[in-house]
Every structure is written in structure tokens, then in C-alpha cells.
Amino acid sequence: MFARIFKPSKTAMQSGKAKTQDWVLEFEPASARTPDPLMGWISAADTRTQVRLSFDTKEQAMAYAETHGIPFRLIEPETPPKIIKAYADNFASNRRQSWTH
């Protein structure tokens, strides 16, 4: 069973970056999820998909996987370009577009 080591992205619902500093080790599902015949809820026979381990650094997560014999795939985070904005730029005389309501 493979594991993924990655840094989670920020949530789209808020502008903060909480819970994005740690590295996460998650197991990939070994089998497809199936609906329960009685209730209709989606379930899986594999309980490893419920495990989610957090580490401070990428090296700690990789060392944990290697010592426990877990094959893993490392997903490096993509850093977005830093766009410096100021409120005064809305009223600058050299704007590329006209400012309207």
C-alpha cells in the first residue's frame, strides 16, 4: 500500500493559511469505495485510509515511512508567485484599466 507525503494547501473558504505548515502522510486507498447495501453510505474495507499523520518537516515524514517499510510518493508543494498589492494602487494615475464602480 502506497502513502502520500505532502503539504496540504490552504482552504478555499478562508484566506488564512492555518494547518498548511505541517507535512502530512496519508495512505492511498487500496480498494474502491462501495455503497453499503442497507444504509447506502459509502464505505471501504481498508481502514488505513482513515490514518492521517502530521510531521513538522518533510524529512521526519520520509524517515517515518522508511523505518516502517511504507512505500511513499513525495509531492512537493508549488509556491504561488508573490503579488504585492497596495490599496493606493486602485487610485493611481497610471492604471492600465479605468477604475469604475
The total domain count for the chain is 1
Dist CA 57 CA 21 (whole Å)? 9
What is the pLDDT, as a whole number, of residue 59? 96
Angle formed at CA 29 by CA 27 and CA 44, multiple of 5 degrees: 120
Task: Give the whole-number percent of the chain exceeding pLDDT 70.
Answer: 96
Where does the pLDDT of residue 98 fall: very low under 50, low under 70, confident under 90, or very high at 90 and above? low
CATH number, position 25: 3.30.160.190
Domain membership of residue 63 (yes or no) is yes
In a domain, 97, yes or no: no
Q: Which domain holds residue 73?
A: 3-11+18-33+42-91
- In this prediction, residue 94 carries a pLDDT of 79
pLDDT tens for 12-29 read 887 788 888 899 999 988
Chain mean pLDDT for the chain: 87
pLDDT at 101 over 60: no
Inside any domain, residue 99: no
Q: Is residue 67 part of a domain?
A: yes
* Dist. CA 96–CA 77, nearest whole Å: 33
- With respect to residue 59, please indicate whether it lies within any of the assigned structural domains: yes
> Would residue 51 count as lying in a domain?
yes
Is pLDDT above 60 for 71?
A: yes
**Percent of the chain surpassing pLDDT 90:** 38
Q: How far apart are CA 97 and CA 78, in angstroms?
A: 30
In a domain, residue 100? The reply is no
Residue 101 falls within a domain, yes or no?
no
